[in-house]
């Protein structure tokens, strides 16, 4: 079975994330959306709310699992018997950052990182931009799946 981990904080889930996930499920038998827990990070949405957004978005997709993890992504991959990490790239800066992580992960394990370029119409979307739009009472609904609602 080809199983991939798609790690992130998903604070919140965006159309950029769903673009990568939806294309990833055509490549893998199973994609585990792995919400990383970082006690030092301040989140806009609780872990429960982030899980709810994601599970609702993929409730009818049997190839998707939603889980949480702490620590190194490669350790979680090993625990889940996943041989791939799925990552999305929006721009050259993302590539440089993700390349360094992928090389490190490959040095420490046999886990391959698979990069997908975000579709051009979604490449500008990031969770930090969505959070800023929300904080300033803008129309964030055009940037996220229907399952992500603030109120």
What are the extents of the domains in the chain? 3-142
Q: Which pairing describes strands 84-89 and 64-69: parallel, antiparallel, or unpaired?
A: unpaired
Q: Looking at domain 3-142, what is its CATH homologous superfamily?
A: HUPs (3.40.50.620)
The answer to whether residue 151 scores a pLDDT higher than 80 is no
What one-character DSSP code corresponds to residue 64?
E
Lowest mean pLDDT among 12-16, 24-28, 40-44, 50-54: 40-44
Is residue 65 flagged as an active site residue? no
Q: Which phi and psi angles does 5 have, rounded to 5°?
A: -105, 130
Cα 86 from Cα 80, distance rounded (Å): 14
Is residue 57 scored above 80 in pLDDT? yes
Verify whether residue 103 is a known catalytic residue.
Answer: no
| pLDDT for residue 145 is more than 90 | yes
52 catalytic residue (yes or no):
no
Q: Return the exposure string of 42-81: e unless at least 16 CB atoms fall within 10 Å of the residue's CB, then b.
A: ebbbeeebbbbbbeebbeeeeebbbeebeeebbebbeebe
Q: Determine which one of 9, 59, 65, 90 is catalytic.
A: 90
Question: Is 17 an annotated catalytic residue?
Answer: yes
Please tell me which residue in 3, 127, 131, 135 is annotated as part of the active site.
127
Q: Is the pTM of this model over 0.75?
A: yes
């Amino acid at each position: 079975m080809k199983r991939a981990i798609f790690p992130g904080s998903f604070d919140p889930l965006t159309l950029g994330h769903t673009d990568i996930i939806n294309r990833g499920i055509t490549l893998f038998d199973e994609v585990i959306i792995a919400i990383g827990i970082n006690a030092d990070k301040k989140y806009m949405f609780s872990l429960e709310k982030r899980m709810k957004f994601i599970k609702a978005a993929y409730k009818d997709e049997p190839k998707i699992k939603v889980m949480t993890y702490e620590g190194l992504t490669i350790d979680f991959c090993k625990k889940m018997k996943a041989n791939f990490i799925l990552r999305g790239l929006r721009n050259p800066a993302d590539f440089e950052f993700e390349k360094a992580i992928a090389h490190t992960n490959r040095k420490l394990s046999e886990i391959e990182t698979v990069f997908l370029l975000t579709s051009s119409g979604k490449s500008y979307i990031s969770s930090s931009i969505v959070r800023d739009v929300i904080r300033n009472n803008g129309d964030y609904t055009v940037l996220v799946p229907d399952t992500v609602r603030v109120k």
